[in-house]
Amino acid sequence: MVRFDPVLAEIRFGSGLSPVIAPPASAAQMLAHLQGPDHAADRFAVETFTQYRERVIRVQAAWKVRQTERGSEAATLARKSVNLEKKAARTERLRWLGQQILRRTWTEDALRERLVGFWADHFTAQGKAGMLRWSATPYVEESIRPHVTGRFEDLLVAATTGPLMLHYLDQYRSYGPNSRRAAQQGGADGLNENLAREVLELHTLGVGAPYDQDDVRALALLFTGLSYQPEKGFVFRKPLAEPGVHEVLGVSYGGAKARLQDIRAALRDLAAHPATARHIAQKLAVHFVADAPPPPLVAHLEARFIQTGGDLMQVTAALLEHPAAWEPDLRNVKPPFDYLSSIARALAVPQTRFDALKEGDMARMLRQPLQEMGQPWEAPPGPDGWPEADGHWITPQGLAARLRWAMTWPAMMVPDLPDPRAFVTLALGDRAPEPVRFAAMAAENRAEGVGLILASPAFQRR
């Protein structure tokens, strides 16, 4: 067992040091926080997808008025109400971005936010059209966050049946060649393999695992019927479902009648597959420790995943107990959202800081800088989520954007900028490198001193 390092725990497994919140005293305390209530979610609320659906329902109703009463005054009002709904959702999304930064700023349970971030990225989904464009936070809040300390199979089922995922990977209207829908469509091909392929390649087994195109197609046939409705959320639409037996990785699922429970059974089997354990172990070690993590750490996580049937609480405990996770050298670079959040935490940005801000203010302060740093908010490049490689983020362009933010925005985040000479220890602990201490002291003014500390590799790595 390694000696617990509270400062490293905050930096590597949390969102960095805070001047007002004490680091955890032990790994046991970190795990106890995870098992306790989710205070941060209560304190800085965002909408769940179920709540967000009300917005979608309202827009759908207004659209119906536009369609059926074309040219009428009611239709004009409906069009206006659609625009207002869209604007409101867009604005809310930025407010939720602020809430998520505040969660990381003020939580004592910092590892929970990091786990939510990791799993939200593992199960990346985004809205491609209409009102769903602004619903990624509600998806994570409802389908991911409650499960990050539960069983992987439950998380997998929740994410796979999340309406946003079904939309993002085109599952919701995929239908089998022998489904009732196909009969109505004159036998047209309506099968979409996107979700099935990504579940195998990204969410469970991993790209190098032993599955082939036949498995992808069989799983896609089995998945038919997974869909959603604004009024109900997830639904299983029998008319889309392909009847019959589908063999995925040598196991037969289904029968004469298509049933949701067969899909669930396949997902649970995929969750329990040894390749899944290896894939998840590798990703966790990369995310929390280093781009090329020590193999013994990966093996340790993998073994715990298998032994506990994918109990994520136990897998997280395995991460915290392994010596390779506590190497004092900081390696991984914080991605832009994590970077800005850790700045907010180091500055103890007030809980009310974002309250009175308009959409444009939030865009200038957060949304646009995130884009300049290479991480446009809730718009990852694909279903594989954000890259982990440090070199992806620390490009000339990305680093310039970070430097600019660190030099200019902190002064607008807090009423008074701290003295750089004290801040260097607050932000980096006793481990602050000598050149950073020197720069903090030698800077021309407070803003540059604080900015140089925040731009130092010692702050940008974890």
Partner 1 sequence: MPRTDPKPQSTPLNRRSFLIRTGLIGCSVAASPLMTPISFAAAPGENRLVVIILRGAMDGLDVVQPYGDPALAGLRRTLLAGEAAGAIDLDGFFALHPALSGLMPLWQAGELGFAHAVSTPYRDKRSHFDGQDLLEAGTPGLGQVRDGWLNRMLQHLPGAEGRTAYALGHEDMLLLRGAAAVSNWTPEARLRLSPQAERLAGLVMHDDPLFNAALEEALLLSAGEEDVPDMAAAPMMGAAMSGRAEPMGGHLRLAGFAAEQLRGHSRIAAFSLGGWDTHQAQAAGLTRALGRLSETILALRDGLGPVWGQTAVLALTEYGRTARENGTRGTDHGTAGAMLMAGGAVRGGRVTVGAGPNAWPGLAESDLYQRRDLMPVRDVRAHAAWAMRGLFGLERAALEQAVFPGLDMGADPGLLR
Residues found near partner 1 in the complex (CB under 8 A): 128-129, 169-170, 193-194, 197-198, 333, 360, 363-364, 368, 371-372, 374, 376, 379, 381-384, 390-391, 394-401, 403-404, 407, 421, 433, 435-436, 438-439, 441-444, 448, 451-452, 455-458, 460-461
Structure-token pair, residue 20: 């007002």
Question: Least CB distance from residue 154 to partner 1, whole Å?
Answer: 26
Question: CA-to-CA distance for 462 and 457, rounded, in angstroms?
Answer: 9
User: What's the min distance (Å) between Cβ of 358 and partner 1?
Assistant: 11
Task: Yes or no: say if 130 and 82 are a contact pair by the CB < 8 Å rule.
Answer: no
- Report the residue number, 311 or 448, with the smaller CB distance to partner 1: 448
Q: Report the nearest approach of partner 1 to the CB of residue 198 (Å).
A: 7
Residue 166 in tokens: 């079904």
- Which of residues 245 and 379 has its CB atom nearest to partner 1 in the complex? 379
**In Å, what is the CA distance from 432 to each residue of 22, 235, 290, 410, 426?**
18, 53, 20, 20, 9
Give exposure, 167-190, as e/b (b: 16+ Cβ within 10 Å).
Answer: bbbebbebbbeebebbeeeeeeeb
Q: What is the DSSP letter of 147?
A: G
Least distance (Å) between residue 82 CB and partner 1: 13
The backbone region for 400, taken as left when phi is positive above 0, alpha when psi lies in -120 to 50, beta otherwise, is alpha
Contact partners, residue 452, CB within 8 Å, separation at least 6: 406, 407, 420, 436, 439, 440, 443
What minimum distance in Å lies between the beta carbon of 452 and partner 1? 5
Tell me the C-alpha distance between 109 and 88, whole Å. Answer: 31
Q: Which is nearer to partner 1, 116 or 373 (CB)?
A: 373
To partner 1, the closest distance from the beta carbon of 34 in angstroms equals 32
Concatenated DSSP letters for 384-421?
T-S---HHHH-SHHHHHHHHHHHHHSHHHHSSSPPPHH
Cβ nearer to partner 1, comparing 170 with 231? 170
Terminal Cα distance for the chain, rounded: 21
- Give whichever of 254 and 374 is closer to partner 1, judged by the CB atom: 374
Q: For residues 27 and 427, which CB has a smaller minimum distance to partner 1 in the complex?
A: 427
Nearer to partner 1, 105 or 124 (CB): 124
Smallest separation, CB 334 to partner 1 (Å) = 13
